[in-house]
Amino acid sequence: MPRRRPGRVRADVHFRLRTHPSDVIRISSLPGLSPHGRAVLAYLEHTRLWPGAAADALRIWERFVRSPYHRIHDYRYDEGCGVWECCPSLIEVQQILTTVEHNLPHRDAQRFRRQLTQLDNLW
């Protein structure tokens, strides 16, 4: 078995200290990402968002687009109650999806854009 370099061992330990095992499970729930894409997403969610933010935003956007009442949504009243689990702001959801799309590696970003395009075609 090959020996791992000391810098790689330190990087792994440092990253493991900053993440919780349940966060890794939530991070890997985005479909179609490569291992490198999942690592980039984990780092993005740890530094700029929260664990599972991309999967939550994608789930909320998909639920909104598939709802038969989405056409009567008015962005002027997008405030809601301010609680993410109850009444998420769709503008914030779109911002999270755009952030994820722009930070993923090229091939993963293409797959993610295709998935978003399929959802947007339902709009």
Identify the residue with better confidence: 113 or 83.
Answer: 113
Considering the domain boundaries, does residue 1 fall inside one? no
- Whole-number pLDDT of residue 105: 92
Considering the domain boundaries, does residue 74 fall inside one? yes
pTM tops 0.75, yes or no: no
Mean pLDDT, range 78-106, rounded to an integer: 82
Instruction: Count structural domains, the chain.
Output: 1
Q: How far apart are the first and last CA of the chain?
A: 52
- Which residue segment(s) compose the domain that 55 sits in? 6-122
Considering the domain boundaries, does residue 23 fall inside one? yes
Residue 8 has pLDDT above 70, yes or no: no
Considering the domain boundaries, does residue 25 fall inside one? yes
Considering the domain boundaries, does residue 93 fall inside one? yes
* Paired tokens of 107: 């091939």
* Paired tokens of 71: 């056409």
The torsion angles phi and psi of 21, rounded to 5 degrees, stand at -55, -35
